[in-house]
Structure 1
Amino acid sequence: MTEKTDRKLLTTGIAGTLVAALCCFTPVLAALLGVVGLSAVLGWIDYVLFPALAFFLALTAYAVWRRQRRAQQN
């Protein structure tokens, strides 16, 4: 059960990091918000994306650390 949880945690961390990084460092989010008519929110979107990126990076690091610790115990 815990190996499945570790894998799920790592997958969530990596996926979230990739999505947040794509939205932070490429114009993907600007294009998508412009298409749907929400380009007015682009002024404050960095206040949400950078903490989200930091959170998902920390989540990924925690999942890797947890997986390595579990491998050392076995």
Structure 2
Amino acid sequence: MKNGNRLLKVGVIGGSITALCCFTPVLVWLFAALGISALVGYLDYVLLAVLAVFLVVLLIGFIQR
């Protein structure tokens, strides 16, 4: 039971942070401030994959709970 709750918590927190970075220009502003704006074009590939991973973790935690 404890492992399911932990996975659920990680899935919710990670998914919400990733969704915030994916659908708002938070990381674009951060990359511009750091001077690495050339990497902005690759953010969609990375963020969508990370979001999918966190949603799978959320689903597994929900099933185990």
Using the aligned pairs only, state the percent identity: 43
Q: RCO higher in 1 or 2 (8 Å CA, sep ≥ 6)?
A: 2
Aligned residue pair count: 65
TM-score normalised by length of structure 1: 0.80
Flag as ranges the 4+ runs of structure 1 deviating above 6 A.
none
Alignment of 1:1-74 (within 5 A): 3-67=1-65
> For 2:29 and 2:37, how far apart are their aligned partners in 1?
8
Q: Which runs of 5+ in 2 are unaligned?
A: none
> For 1:66 and 1:4, how far apart are their aligned partners in 2?
9
| Contact 2:15 2:54 (C-alpha < 8 Å) held by counterparts | yes
Q: Which runs of 5+ in 1 are unaligned?
A: 68-74
User: Offset of 1:14 from its aligned partner?
Assistant: 0.8
Give 2:13's aligned amino acid: A
**Over aligned residue pairs, what C-alpha RMSD do you find?**
1.0
> How big is each residue's C-alpha offset from its partner over 1:34-60, in whole Å with a ceiling of 9 and x where there is no partner?
111111100111111101111101110
TM-score normalised by length of structure 2: 0.89
User: Offset of 1:4 from its aligned partner?
Assistant: 2.4
| Contact 2:4 2:60 (C-alpha < 8 Å) held by counterparts | no
**Structure showing greater Rg:** 1
